[in-house]
């Protein structure tokens, strides 16, 4: 197990990446900051559970994703209306839950299919970028110049926009 100082420095070094990922998950600045804070606290509380020689960044991002999913499920559960009327009157009323739900599964499936149609030279850097890696990290991992990584991500975005223009 690494020293506590090193562990804290690693978490502090990931704050920008984590905030970016949190914003992608929540699409709300305040909620993203709350999620970042919850993730940081949970990671610090569970420092003893981290095993050296494992992917620290992946471990922390997994914590964030799980917190987001649990919070989302809790919110949905609280917003669930149980109709106890005899004739199920409330079930027949159109109700807005007030929640901004993620895009429907049809759109997600379309996006996944469009991404999977890309060649690996575009798909891999794009997926890494969406997962929170910075350009220089992707370049180092794939042994490519940073400019090449940026242009591949740009072209992947452009292709996605073209293929999914009906979903706007």
pLDDT tens digits, 120-154: 899 898 888 888 888 999 999 999 999 999 999 99
Rg from Cα positions in the chain: 20
Categorise residue 51: left if φ over 0, alpha if ψ from -120 to 50, beta otherwise. beta
163: enclosing H helix or E strand: helix 146-163
Report the C-alpha gap between 70 and 64 in whole angstroms. 10
Instruction: For residue 16, count other CB atoms closer than 10 A to its CB.
Output: 12
The residue-averaged pLDDT of 31-58 equals: 91
pLDDT tens digits, 80-119: 666 566 665 555 554 444 434 554 544 667 777 788 888 8
Residue pair 33/19 in contact by the 8 Å Cβ criterion: yes
- Asked whether the CA dihedral 29, 34, 35, 39 is positive or negative, the reply is positive
Residues with Cβ within 8 Å of residue 95, at least 6 apart in sequence: 81
């Amino acid at each position: 197990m690494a020293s506590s100082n090193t562990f804290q420095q690693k978490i502090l070094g990931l704050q920008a990446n984590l905030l970016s990922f949190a914003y992608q998950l929540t699409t709300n600045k305040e909620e993203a900051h709350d999620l970042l804070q919850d993730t940081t606290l949970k990671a610090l509380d569970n420092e003893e559970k981290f095993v050296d020689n494992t992917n620290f960044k992946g471990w922390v991002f997994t914590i964030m994703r799980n917190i987001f999913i649990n919070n989302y499920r809790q919110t949905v559960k609280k917003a669930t209306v149980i109709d106890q009327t005899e004739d199920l009157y409330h079930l027949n009323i159109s109700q807005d839950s007030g929640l901004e739900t993620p895009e429907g599964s049809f759109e997600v499936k379309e996006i996944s299919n469009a991404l999977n149609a890309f060649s690996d030279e575009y798909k891999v850097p794009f997926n890494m970028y969406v997962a929170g890696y910075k350009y220089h990290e992707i370049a180092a991992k794939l042994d490519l110049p940073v400019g090449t990584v940026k242009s591949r991500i740009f072209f992947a975005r452009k292709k996605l926009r073209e293929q999914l223009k009906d979903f706007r």
